[in-house]
Amino acid sequence: MVVEGFEMKIVFSGVGVLGDAAIGEKFQGRFHPVGIYGKAMELVEKLIYSDEVKAGVLYLSIGIGLSSTPVLGLDKILGPLKSVKVFGVKVDRIIGIPLFLWLVNGGWQLGKVANQIGESLENGELDRAISELPSLVGRELSGLDLSQLSSAAIESVAENSVDALVAPYFYSTLFGAYGSVGYRGVNTLDAMVGKRNERYENFGKASARADDLLNYIPARLAAISVVALRPKRAFQIVKSIAKTSKGHPSPNSGVIEAAFAGALDIEIGGEVSYGGKVEKRPILGFGPKPSPSDIKRATKLLSDMELFFGIASVFSPLILPIAKIIKRAIKQVLK
């Protein structure tokens, strides 16, 4: 079987997603490629920072360029092997697309951390859970009760299902290895400087806007996958998105968080505090307030999403022709 172009990118992006689902992350802490990239961009910030939007645009441009260097490095390493084809596909794409998507995909690690927090909360170890939560959420945690801590974890799982899984996959299918690492670069810059505070209000604006733009389609694709994976609650999911997500300050996070709330039949969201500033957010969903056990249900949905995108992509050369046949058959019947 020969796969070409866009179809080829889908197949090998699926391999990368399944690689993360199967073996997770092998790089931890400061040795993680994203962590190394973040350290490099901290140095860039020190060199070029000024309280101006144009400085932030330069920072973003440098970051996008720097994020592509590992892909260029692989091209150099492979050298003449780049032109070798296996089943009609160049070797650099067979290696590069799944390798770099696996490296930047954080679905497995996200689920692992969230489950650890859920177990701590279920065991009544609030201090331990609060010490673990900052790796997942950025809000202030003091004074939050069990339900609010559970909600914070679930909201983060939902939001990061886009950042860590669906968006890198989406851009990998469009642009190959450059797409996944380029997206992850922008997303990392947003996490670093895309903050509404005195230092980053201007400097981080370009990174924040770029991240919002890049996440617009993936967030909605993620929500569609939630409907597909939880069909019995499809109506509730769509209702939750339509009725409760509009007031969210993020054009993307509100959509996927509302989708998770509808799928899990819970209510999340509400007032949060960042740096001493209280931010009023809408209540998402229509069910009861979450409990620690709902965190495991959220990570199960996340895991199902990863398998869904991975398996569907790998088998897309078989699925797409069948879908076209079904579409033609339906048209014939409706004539």
- 61-107 residue pLDDT tens: 999 999 999 988 887 787 766 676 666 667 777 888 999 999 999 89
Q: Which of 42, 82, 89 is nearest to 62 (CA)?
A: 42
Residue 285 Rama label (left phi>0; alpha psi -120 to 50; beta) = left
pLDDT per position as a tens digit, 214-246: 999 999 999 999 999 999 999 999 999 999 998
* Full residue range of the structural domain in which residue 172 is found: 5-334
Of the listed ranges 39-48, 131-140, 261-270, the one predicted with least confidence:
131-140
**Residue 316, burial from CB neighbour count under 10 angstroms (0-12, 13-18, 19+):** buried
Contact criterion met (CB below 8 Å) for 191 and 253: no
Closest of 170, 169, 212, 166 to residue 187, by C-alpha? 212
d(CA 12, CA 117): 33
Number of domains making up the chain: 1
Q: Quick one: which of 93, 104, 106, 70 has its CA closest to 7?
A: 93
What average pLDDT does the segment 277-292 reach? 89
| Each residue's pLDDT tens digit, 151-179 | 999 999 999 999 999 999 999 999 999 99
Identify whether the C-beta of residue 192 lies closer than 8 Å to the C-beta of residue 59: no
CA distances from 34 to 29, 55, 185, 270 (A): 9, 22, 8, 31
